[in-house]
Amino acid sequence: MKLRKVELNRLTKEEKSSIALKKALVMGKKLGKEILNSCFEIKNNKNQLENPSSYKDYFEALPTIIRSFFQALLTVLQQHKQKVVNNKRHQYRLPLKSFYTNQISKTTTLLISILLTIAFSGTKFWLSNIISSICQNPKLLPHL
């Protein structure tokens, strides 16, 4: 009979979950502070955020730090998703899917617009207003 070395410092599932929860709370607080600290950038770009001349102008007027955070987050998620999809497509000998950065920028814009609308209710963010207008007209809901 052999005795194997037992690692006494091994974390239980509950401890790992607790650590992950604490990390999530810290990241959430930091993101919230960054959003609130972007007030100056929002004031400088208020005209572009309320009445942009194009989607690209609106996207570029969003706070840089928050935009970079969400672009990086969504890029990691999208790349992982694409890898899984392409592995399956390769198994079935189907053509591989391309990576679309346009979808990432659109999703980034939507998420940031929602967060900024919550944080800065005095500013009428263009995308949030457009979406709320569409939602108020039931005939337009299928076009979302």
Which residue, chain included where needed, has tokens 């955070």? 69
Confidence tier at 144 by pLDDT (50, 70, 90): low
Position 2 scores a pLDDT of 43
Q: What is the pLDDT of residue 55?
A: 94
Beta strands in 9-64 (DSSP E): none
Q: Give percent above pLDDT 90 in the chain.
A: 74
Q: Which amino acid is at 139?
A: K
125 pLDDT higher than 90: yes
pLDDT at 7 over 70: no
Q: Contact at 8 Å (CB) between 103 and 110?
A: no
Parse the chain into domains and list their residue ranges: 16-143
Nearest partner of 110 among 123, 124, 126, judged by Cα? 126
